[in-house]
Amino acid sequence: MFHEIADEAVTADRANDDEEAIEAATLLASFEAVLAETVEETGADRVVAETPLDEATVERIADGDARTMTLAEGAALLAVGSDRESEPMVAEIRDHLLMGMATAVLDVDTVAASMDADLTGQEVQQVLEGRAAMTLEQLAEVMAVIESRKR
């Protein structure tokens, strides 16, 4: 699901801009908009009841601030608003990132060096493999690097 949101943002960014770089901020804003819309459509009470998120976090997301939310939490929220389960969504985005890295001929050290986020190559590998939590801000950073290199 997140990769579909990113694909739409990248397509729009490429149509509106001749520059090579895909902005992580653009991807993060797209993630935050979809999550806020999901909270609005499904209702904050339902999101709190059906996800591990507390009321304050859901309110923050509804206000458009989801940068520190983990990929797993974001998938759980999106699952409430769809007929999908969250675990396959997380696996799907990880697969998408790894396939994108292969297409762009990138390794984890290159991704880490190209990001604004303070992650080492080993930490990038851990978040990609699911051994460490990945925030949506980190997801946007990784995706921006991959998409920029795929151009």
Taking only the tens place, the pLDDT of each residue in 64-93 is 999 999 999 999 999 998 878 999 999 999
Contacts for 130 with CB less than 8 Å, ≥ 6 apart: 90, 94
Over 70: is that where the pLDDT of 95 sits?
yes
Question: What percent of the chain stands above pLDDT 90?
Answer: 74
Over 70: is that where the pLDDT of 52 sits?
yes
Q: Which range of residues forms the domain containing residue 124?
A: 2-150
Q: What predicted TM-score, i.e. pTM, was given to this entire model?
A: 0.87
Q: What mean pLDDT comes out for the span 10-27?
A: 67
Looking at residue 81, its pLDDT comes to 81
Answer yes or no: are the C-beta atoms of 25 and 140 closer than 8 Å.
yes
Name the nearest CA neighbour of 41 among 27, 15, 61: 61
Helix (H, G, I), strand (E, B), or coil: what is residue 129?
A: helix
Looking at residue 118, its pLDDT comes to 82
Q: How many domains does the chain have?
A: 1
